[in-house]
Copies of this chain bind each other. A is one copy, B any other.
Amino acid sequence: MKILITGGAGFLGQRLAKRLLARGTLDGQPVTELLLLDVARPADAHLLADPRVRAETGDIAERAVLERCIDGETRAIFHLAAIVSGQAEAEFDLGMRINLDASRTLLEVCRASGHAPRVVFTSSVAVYGGVLPDIVQDDTALNPQTSYGTQKAIAELLLCDYSRRGFVDGRVLRLPTISVRPGKPNAAASSFASGIIREPLNGERSVCPVDGDTRLWLLSPKSAVDALIAGCEIDRAEFGMRPIINLPGLSVSVNEMVAALREVAGDEVVSRIDWQRDERIAKIVASWPGAWDTSRAQQLGLTGDRSFADVIRAYIEEMRG
Protein backbone atom coordinates (compact mmCIF):
# COMPACT_ATOMS: atom_id res chain seq x y z
CA MET A 1 0.00 0.00 0.00
CA LYS A 2 1.25 3.41 -1.06
CA ILE A 3 0.46 6.25 1.34
CA LEU A 4 0.92 10.01 0.97
CA ILE A 5 1.22 12.43 3.87
CA THR A 6 1.08 16.11 2.91
CA GLY A 7 2.75 18.28 5.49
CA GLY A 8 4.87 15.16 5.96
CA ALA A 9 7.80 17.08 7.40
CA GLY A 10 5.59 18.72 10.01
CA PHE A 11 5.32 17.72 13.62
CA LEU A 12 2.16 15.64 13.18
CA GLY A 13 3.19 14.33 9.75
CA GLN A 14 6.49 12.88 10.95
CA ARG A 15 4.82 11.40 13.97
CA LEU A 16 2.12 9.78 11.87
CA ALA A 17 4.77 8.47 9.48
CA LYS A 18 6.74 6.84 12.27
CA ARG A 19 3.62 5.22 13.67
CA LEU A 20 2.58 3.86 10.26
CA LEU A 21 6.06 2.43 9.70
CA ALA A 22 6.11 0.87 13.15
CA ARG A 23 2.66 -0.68 12.60
CA GLY A 24 3.69 -1.89 9.16
CA THR A 25 0.07 -1.99 7.97
CA LEU A 26 -2.87 0.31 7.32
CA ASP A 27 -6.37 -1.04 6.92
CA GLY A 28 -4.96 -4.55 6.92
CA GLN A 29 -2.52 -3.98 4.06
CA PRO A 30 1.26 -3.70 4.29
CA VAL A 31 2.73 -0.22 4.02
CA THR A 32 5.05 -0.54 1.01
CA GLU A 33 5.70 3.12 0.22
CA LEU A 34 5.25 6.19 2.40
CA LEU A 35 5.55 9.51 0.62
CA LEU A 36 6.22 12.59 2.74
CA LEU A 37 5.43 15.76 0.81
CA ASP A 38 6.32 19.14 2.28
CA VAL A 39 8.15 22.35 1.49
CA ALA A 40 11.24 20.84 3.14
CA ARG A 41 12.51 17.34 3.84
CA PRO A 42 11.75 15.90 7.29
CA ALA A 43 14.47 16.57 9.83
CA ASP A 44 14.35 13.05 11.26
CA ALA A 45 17.22 11.07 9.69
CA HIS A 46 15.90 7.88 11.25
CA LEU A 47 12.64 8.29 9.40
CA LEU A 48 14.36 8.99 6.08
CA ALA A 49 16.54 5.93 6.48
CA ASP A 50 13.52 3.62 6.26
CA PRO A 51 13.50 2.08 2.75
CA ARG A 52 9.74 2.54 2.52
CA VAL A 53 10.01 6.32 2.94
CA ARG A 54 10.30 8.76 0.06
CA ALA A 55 10.54 12.48 0.81
CA GLU A 56 9.28 14.91 -1.83
CA THR A 57 9.58 18.68 -1.62
CA GLY A 58 7.47 21.16 -3.51
CA ASP A 59 4.65 23.67 -3.42
CA ILE A 60 1.49 21.72 -2.68
CA ALA A 61 -0.64 24.30 -4.46
CA GLU A 62 1.01 23.32 -7.75
CA ARG A 63 -0.89 20.60 -9.49
CA ALA A 64 2.26 19.08 -11.00
CA VAL A 65 3.70 18.53 -7.51
CA LEU A 66 0.60 16.65 -6.41
CA GLU A 67 0.50 14.68 -9.66
CA ARG A 68 4.06 13.54 -8.93
CA CYS A 69 2.90 12.24 -5.54
CA ILE A 70 -0.50 10.69 -6.32
CA ASP A 71 -1.01 7.87 -8.78
CA GLY A 72 -3.23 4.86 -9.27
CA GLU A 73 -1.31 3.01 -6.53
CA THR A 74 -1.88 5.65 -3.84
CA ARG A 75 -4.41 4.05 -1.50
CA ALA A 76 -4.48 6.56 1.35
CA ILE A 77 -3.72 10.25 1.64
CA PHE A 78 -3.39 12.14 4.91
CA HIS A 79 -3.74 15.81 4.00
CA LEU A 80 -2.12 17.63 6.90
CA ALA A 81 -0.41 20.51 5.06
CA ALA A 82 -1.84 23.86 6.14
CA ILE A 83 -1.11 27.46 6.90
CA VAL A 84 -1.90 27.81 10.60
CA SER A 85 -4.59 30.09 12.01
CA GLY A 86 -2.51 33.12 12.99
CA GLN A 87 -0.59 33.15 9.73
CA ALA A 88 -3.70 32.64 7.58
CA GLU A 89 -5.25 35.62 9.35
CA ALA A 90 -2.15 37.75 8.70
CA GLU A 91 -1.50 36.52 5.14
CA PHE A 92 -4.92 36.06 3.56
CA ASP A 93 -3.79 35.11 0.05
CA LEU A 94 -1.29 32.56 1.28
CA GLY A 95 -3.94 30.92 3.45
CA MET A 96 -6.38 30.77 0.54
CA ARG A 97 -3.70 29.29 -1.67
CA ILE A 98 -2.64 26.50 0.67
CA ASN A 99 -5.70 25.80 2.82
CA LEU A 100 -8.25 26.11 0.03
CA ASP A 101 -6.69 25.89 -3.43
CA ALA A 102 -4.18 23.16 -2.61
CA SER A 103 -6.91 21.09 -0.93
CA ARG A 104 -9.10 21.44 -3.99
CA THR A 105 -6.24 20.58 -6.34
CA LEU A 106 -5.47 17.51 -4.26
CA LEU A 107 -9.09 16.39 -4.66
CA GLU A 108 -8.93 17.10 -8.40
CA VAL A 109 -5.76 15.04 -8.81
CA CYS A 110 -7.43 12.18 -6.90
CA ARG A 111 -10.47 12.51 -9.14
CA ALA A 112 -8.28 12.35 -12.24
CA SER A 113 -6.56 9.23 -10.89
CA GLY A 114 -9.95 7.54 -11.15
CA HIS A 115 -9.59 5.06 -8.27
CA ALA A 116 -11.17 7.06 -5.41
CA PRO A 117 -8.35 6.84 -2.86
CA ARG A 118 -9.01 7.26 0.82
CA VAL A 119 -8.40 10.90 1.78
CA VAL A 120 -8.18 12.01 5.40
CA PHE A 121 -8.53 15.79 5.85
CA THR A 122 -7.75 17.37 9.17
CA SER A 123 -10.01 20.19 10.19
CA SER A 124 -10.24 22.24 13.33
CA VAL A 125 -12.19 23.83 16.18
CA ALA A 126 -11.82 27.03 14.13
CA VAL A 127 -14.68 26.08 11.78
CA TYR A 128 -16.99 27.03 14.66
CA GLY A 129 -17.48 30.51 16.03
CA GLY A 130 -19.93 33.19 17.04
CA VAL A 131 -22.51 32.41 19.70
CA LEU A 132 -21.96 28.74 20.57
CA PRO A 133 -23.63 26.32 22.97
CA ASP A 134 -21.42 25.15 25.88
CA ILE A 135 -21.11 21.83 24.12
CA VAL A 136 -21.13 22.08 20.34
CA GLN A 137 -23.26 19.38 18.72
CA ASP A 138 -22.66 17.55 15.45
CA ASP A 139 -25.48 19.56 13.88
CA THR A 140 -24.32 22.96 15.16
CA ALA A 141 -23.81 25.33 12.24
CA LEU A 142 -20.29 26.32 11.28
CA ASN A 143 -19.63 30.02 11.67
CA PRO A 144 -15.88 30.55 11.37
CA GLN A 145 -14.55 33.87 12.63
CA THR A 146 -11.13 33.53 11.03
CA SER A 147 -9.93 33.05 7.47
CA TYR A 148 -8.26 29.81 8.59
CA GLY A 149 -11.59 28.48 9.89
CA THR A 150 -13.33 29.60 6.71
CA GLN A 151 -10.77 27.83 4.53
CA LYS A 152 -11.01 24.65 6.59
CA ALA A 153 -14.83 24.74 6.44
CA ILE A 154 -14.69 25.12 2.65
CA ALA A 155 -12.21 22.25 2.32
CA GLU A 156 -14.61 20.12 4.41
CA LEU A 157 -17.50 20.92 2.07
CA LEU A 158 -15.40 20.09 -0.97
CA LEU A 159 -14.24 16.80 0.52
CA CYS A 160 -17.84 15.82 1.34
CA ASP A 161 -19.04 16.57 -2.18
CA TYR A 162 -16.10 14.83 -3.86
CA SER A 163 -16.84 11.84 -1.62
CA ARG A 164 -20.56 11.88 -2.35
CA ARG A 165 -19.77 11.86 -6.06
CA GLY A 166 -17.34 8.97 -5.63
CA PHE A 167 -14.25 10.94 -6.70
CA VAL A 168 -12.55 10.11 -3.39
CA ASP A 169 -13.31 8.11 -0.28
CA GLY A 170 -12.95 11.06 2.03
CA ARG A 171 -13.24 11.64 5.73
CA VAL A 172 -12.81 14.84 7.74
CA LEU A 173 -11.41 14.66 11.24
CA ARG A 174 -11.97 17.84 13.24
CA LEU A 175 -9.05 18.03 15.62
CA PRO A 176 -9.13 19.73 18.98
CA THR A 177 -6.15 21.98 19.66
CA ILE A 178 -3.08 19.74 19.89
CA SER A 179 -1.20 20.03 23.17
CA VAL A 180 1.53 19.47 24.21
CA ARG A 181 3.33 19.95 20.88
CA PRO A 182 7.11 19.60 21.13
CA GLY A 183 9.46 22.05 19.46
CA LYS A 184 9.10 25.79 19.02
CA PRO A 185 6.15 28.21 19.14
CA ASN A 186 4.45 28.70 15.75
CA ALA A 187 2.08 31.22 14.17
CA ALA A 188 -1.07 29.37 15.24
CA ALA A 189 -3.29 31.40 17.54
CA SER A 190 -3.30 28.28 19.73
CA SER A 191 0.50 28.10 19.95
CA PHE A 192 0.40 29.15 23.62
CA ALA A 193 -1.64 26.03 24.48
CA SER A 194 1.59 24.08 24.13
CA GLY A 195 3.98 26.91 24.95
CA ILE A 196 2.74 27.52 28.51
CA ILE A 197 3.51 23.87 29.32
CA ARG A 198 6.56 23.18 27.15
CA GLU A 199 8.65 26.27 27.80
CA PRO A 200 8.30 26.28 31.62
CA LEU A 201 9.22 22.58 31.65
CA ASN A 202 12.33 23.51 29.65
CA GLY A 203 13.23 26.18 32.20
CA GLU A 204 12.13 29.00 29.87
CA ARG A 205 9.56 31.73 30.37
CA SER A 206 6.35 31.64 28.31
CA VAL A 207 3.60 34.18 27.71
CA CYS A 208 -0.05 33.23 28.14
CA PRO A 209 -2.00 35.65 25.89
CA VAL A 210 -5.52 34.69 27.08
CA ASP A 211 -7.37 34.80 30.39
CA GLY A 212 -7.22 31.87 32.78
CA ASP A 213 -10.89 31.05 32.42
CA THR A 214 -10.59 30.63 28.63
CA ARG A 215 -11.78 27.12 27.86
CA LEU A 216 -9.84 25.01 25.38
CA TRP A 217 -10.58 21.69 23.75
CA LEU A 218 -7.36 19.71 23.71
CA LEU A 219 -5.94 16.51 22.28
CA SER A 220 -2.48 15.06 22.82
CA PRO A 221 -0.23 14.36 19.82
CA LYS A 222 -0.38 10.61 20.52
CA SER A 223 -4.18 10.57 20.53
CA ALA A 224 -4.24 12.72 17.39
CA VAL A 225 -2.12 10.18 15.51
CA ASP A 226 -4.28 7.33 16.86
CA ALA A 227 -7.35 9.15 15.56
CA LEU A 228 -5.84 9.81 12.13
CA ILE A 229 -5.13 6.12 11.64
CA ALA A 230 -8.46 4.97 13.07
CA GLY A 231 -10.30 7.59 11.00
CA CYS A 232 -8.63 6.32 7.86
CA GLU A 233 -9.52 2.71 8.65
CA ILE A 234 -13.22 3.28 9.33
CA ASP A 235 -15.37 1.80 6.62
CA ARG A 236 -17.01 4.40 4.42
CA ALA A 237 -20.46 2.91 4.95
CA GLU A 238 -20.30 3.81 8.65
CA PHE A 239 -20.23 7.54 7.95
CA GLY A 240 -23.72 7.83 6.46
CA MET A 241 -24.39 11.13 4.72
CA ARG A 242 -21.64 13.07 6.42
CA PRO A 243 -18.05 11.89 6.58
CA ILE A 244 -17.10 14.37 9.31
CA ILE A 245 -16.08 13.45 12.83
CA ASN A 246 -15.52 15.80 15.74
CA LEU A 247 -12.69 14.03 17.59
CA PRO A 248 -12.89 13.61 21.36
CA GLY A 249 -10.93 16.15 23.37
CA LEU A 250 -10.40 17.33 26.90
CA SER A 251 -12.35 20.44 27.85
CA VAL A 252 -10.03 22.39 30.15
CA SER A 253 -9.66 26.00 31.12
CA VAL A 254 -6.22 27.57 30.96
CA ASN A 255 -6.33 27.73 34.78
CA GLU A 256 -6.94 23.98 34.86
CA MET A 257 -4.02 23.43 32.48
CA VAL A 258 -1.80 25.42 34.78
CA ALA A 259 -3.10 23.49 37.81
CA ALA A 260 -2.23 20.23 36.01
CA LEU A 261 1.26 21.57 35.30
CA ARG A 262 1.63 22.48 38.98
CA GLU A 263 0.45 18.98 39.98
CA VAL A 264 2.99 17.31 37.68
CA ALA A 265 5.95 19.70 37.83
CA GLY A 266 5.53 22.01 40.83
CA ASP A 267 5.29 25.71 41.65
CA GLU A 268 8.64 26.81 40.27
CA VAL A 269 7.82 25.58 36.79
CA VAL A 270 4.42 27.30 36.88
CA SER A 271 6.03 30.57 37.96
CA ARG A 272 7.66 30.79 34.51
CA ILE A 273 4.31 31.67 32.91
CA ASP A 274 3.80 35.38 32.21
CA TRP A 275 0.17 36.49 31.86
CA GLN A 276 0.02 39.12 29.13
CA ARG A 277 -3.28 39.30 27.38
CA ASP A 278 -3.03 39.69 23.57
CA GLU A 279 -6.34 40.96 22.21
CA ARG A 280 -5.81 39.55 18.73
CA ILE A 281 -5.13 36.03 19.97
CA ALA A 282 -7.70 36.18 22.78
CA LYS A 283 -10.40 37.13 20.30
CA ILE A 284 -9.60 34.27 17.91
CA VAL A 285 -9.36 31.67 20.67
CA ALA A 286 -12.57 32.89 22.34
CA SER A 287 -14.45 32.19 19.09
CA TRP A 288 -13.61 28.47 19.26
CA PRO A 289 -15.74 25.91 21.09
CA GLY A 290 -14.57 24.81 24.55
CA ALA A 291 -16.08 21.37 24.00
CA TRP A 292 -18.14 19.47 21.49
CA ASP A 293 -20.29 16.38 21.64
CA THR A 294 -18.19 13.28 20.98
CA SER A 295 -20.84 10.56 20.91
CA ARG A 296 -20.45 9.99 17.19
CA ALA A 297 -16.68 9.64 17.47
CA GLN A 298 -17.09 7.22 20.35
CA GLN A 299 -19.61 5.15 18.40
CA LEU A 300 -16.97 4.87 15.69
CA GLY A 301 -14.43 3.72 18.26
CA LEU A 302 -12.40 6.93 18.50
CA THR A 303 -11.21 7.94 21.94
CA GLY A 304 -9.20 10.80 23.42
CA ASP A 305 -7.08 11.42 26.50
CA ARG A 306 -7.88 10.71 30.14
CA SER A 307 -6.65 13.86 31.84
CA PHE A 308 -4.45 16.80 31.02
CA ALA A 309 -2.04 15.89 33.83
CA ASP A 310 -1.57 12.52 32.08
CA VAL A 311 -0.92 14.34 28.81
CA ILE A 312 1.79 16.43 30.48
CA ARG A 313 3.34 13.30 32.03
CA ALA A 314 3.39 11.56 28.64
CA TYR A 315 5.06 14.63 27.12
CA ILE A 316 7.76 14.67 29.81
CA GLU A 317 8.39 10.97 29.38
CA GLU A 318 8.74 11.32 25.64
CA MET A 319 11.16 14.22 25.97
CA ARG A 320 13.31 12.14 28.30
CA GLY A 321 13.19 9.10 25.99
Q: Which residues of A contact B (CB under 8 A)?
A: 92, 129-131, 138-145, 147, 150, 153-154, 157-158, 160-161, 164-165, 240-242
Contact = CB atoms under 8 A, between A and B. Distances in A.
Contact of A157 (B150, B165, B241): B150
> Which of A138, A153, A240 neighbours the largest number of chain B CB atoms within 10 Å of its CB?
A153
Contacts of A130: 240-242
A129 B161 contact: no
Nearest to A143: B242
Given A131-B241, A154-B154, A242-B130, A142 B144 contact: no
Contacts of A138: 141
Chain A interface mostly: loop
A244 B118 CA distance: 34
Given A130-B242, A241-B129, A164 B145 contact: yes
A239 B154 CA distance: 22
Contacts of A157: 142, 144, 150, 153-154, 157
B158 A241 contact: no
B144 A161 contact: yes
Given A141-B139, A154-B154, A147 B165 contact: yes
A150 B161 contact: yes
Closest 6 CB pairs of A and B: A150-B161, A130-B241, A139-B141, A154-B154, A141-B141, A150-B157
A129 B92 CA distance: 30
A150 B159 CA distance: 10
